[in-house]
Every structure is written in structure tokens, then in C-alpha cells.
Structure 1
Amino acid sequence: MECLVMTYNDQAVCMDDTAKKLGLSVADTIDCLIVHKKVGTTQYNSRDYISINFQCKFQKVKKNYKTNKYTSLQETFEKYAADIGHKLQELVFKFDGDVIPKTSLPLDLDLENDDTIDVMRKKIQTTKFAK
């Protein structure tokens, strides 16, 4: 089975996106990729997968995960958080110094095999009350 993945400015185009929502003009181009899937499964072609490393200062161990370039990173982030014993809400993920939204696709970020995502704990703000 084949699926069509559409992107505009290296961002995935969703089914409910409109030309107005994307800010398209008549001169803009939407890129299309054909993704091969096995019928009855959610498996993609093996070349659609990349290995991503996760590292954080508070764990001192690099972990590697295989993820699909055309699916959200949220599931991989959740697996990583569970593996290190933290809640996803406690962590911030960065690539090249920029915070990664959970809904991002590896394709959106130009992630390649063996790229590394930095992980940090969110800073908790405390408020001091005057006595």
C-alpha cells in the first residue's frame, strides 16, 4: 500500500490545512512523497526510519531510539521519559539549541541517522512570599 505525504516549507501538511492557513500563493509548491506501507500494518519502508540519540546531563547515559521520519516525535519522547523514570511534562527536548515541539516530525527538523537530541529537566519556578 502506498501513502502520500505532503510537505510545505519542510513542514508536514495536515488533512485539514487550507491554502489560507498555510499562507500559500499561486507561486508556492507543495512537495509530495510516496511512502510504502504494508497492508494491515502501520509499518513503513525501512529507509523511512532513523536512529536518534538522546542525552541528558542528569542521566549520563546516551540512549538510542529508532523512529519514523514521517510520524510525530511524541511517542519516542514518551518512551524515553518512561525509560529514564520521568514524566514527559518534566522534560524539555532540544535539537541544535532549539526546543522541539512534541508534534514535530523528524523530517521537519531535518533529523538524520545518529543525530542527538539534548534533554533537560524543566526549571520549576518558586515564589517566595514576604513575611
Structure 2
Amino acid sequence: MLCLYFFVQYSYEIQLGKLLPWRQCNFLFKAVEQLSVKLKVPPSRILLLRRDIELPVHSTANELGLGIADIIDCVVIAADDKHEPEPSGDMITVRLQAKEKGSAQEYSLHKDAPLGSILSQYVSSMSVDARRKVRFQFDGSKVVHSQTPSQLDMEDGDVIEVWV
């Protein structure tokens, strides 16, 4: 049994620390779910970082080499408005493409949904080493899990580049 220590941040100000008992084989998205309940925010507004690098939530502590001495920063992303925006119902298809042949995968999602779910799905079939190195870009800018297609002015059929 491993205990992961999460520093919870709101707008980059440390508010509190949470110690969660954790099995090394558990996926980090389970920690995000637990933290979202404790913090009363949706999971889509939570980022897990180690040394300022976002951790893929569909990986395990073991896969990421996390140990008892590691401290995970849990950043709670501020809501854009006083209330959460409701999904507009607009669906788009986004293609994730690496330079290798056959690496393209298409996903459909709401324009207001965070890209994290499709980015995590894409990397789920990669090796642990590749997951640590992978970067996503759209129109030459880095894409992070919390961004939405609307925020990036994406249109149906746009391509997110995958760099390993």
C-alpha cells in the first residue's frame, strides 16, 4: 500500500494537503474521482502534476514510477464563469495523428468537453516510456488535458499532432 500526498491548489495558491492511501496498481483517475468528491468540483477541473508535468490519469502509480516520497500537485482549474458552462450540444470529430503510419485515431466529443478524455484514450495503448514523453500540439501550440475544442477554436475534422 502506497500513500500519495496531494497538494491541492486553487489558482496556484496551496490551500490544503490530502493524503490518500493508494495501491500502486490503481489508476490515477480514481484519485481524481476521490479528490473531486472531497473538493466538490467536477473531475474535469482537476489536474495532477509531478514536478510541473501533467500526469496521465489513465496510468497507474507503478507505471509512472511513483513512490512513497513523491508529492503530487493537484491543481483545481478555476471555472470560466460563476457557473459551469453547459455543453452546447455541438459535436465535432477530432483526429489525433503521430508521424507513424496507422497511428491516426478519430474521436467525437462536444466542443465544450475537455480534451483530456480523448488524449488519455489515445495514450492508453502506448508503452509506459512513450506515455511519459508524449506531447500534443494543435496549430503549433501545446494542448493540455483541460482545454476544450472551443477554447482552441477547433472545427470538425481538425488534427491534433502527437509527438513522442
Within the alignment, does 1:76 sit opposite 2:118 as a pair?
yes
The percent of aligned pairs where both chains have the same amino acid is 26
Select 1:99's aligned residue among 138, 142, 162: 142
Q: Write out per-residue CA displacement over residues 44-85 of structure 1, whole angstroms, 9 at most, x where no aligned residue.
A: x3xx1100011101x3222111111111100110011114x2
Distance 1:96 1:69 in 2: 17
Q: Give the drift of 1:90.
A: 2.8
Select 1:13's aligned residue among 72, 80, 90: 80
Distance 1:14 1:86 in 2: 38
Under a length normalisation based on structure 1, what TM-score does the superposition of the two structures give?
0.54
Distance 1:102 1:35 in 2: 17
Larger Rg: 1
Q: Give the drift of 1:105.
A: 0.7
Distance 1:68 1:15 in 2: 21
Q: Give the match for residue 114 of structure 1.
A: 157
CA RMSD of aligned residues (A): 2.6
Distance 2:139 2:149 in 1: 13
Number of aligned residue pairs: 83
Change (3 A) 1:69 1:86: farther
Q: Give the drift of 1:35.
A: 4.4
Distance 1:35 1:63 in 2: 23
Within the alignment, does 1:55 sit opposite 2:97 as a pair?
yes
Contact persistence 2:87–2:111 (CA under 8 A): no
Q: Which runs of 4+ in 1 moved over 4 A?
A: 33-36
Q: Give the drift of 1:34.
A: 6.2
Under a length normalisation based on structure 2, what TM-score does the superposition of the two structures give?
0.44
Unaligned 5+ segments in structure 1 are: 1-11, 17-32, 37-44, 122-131
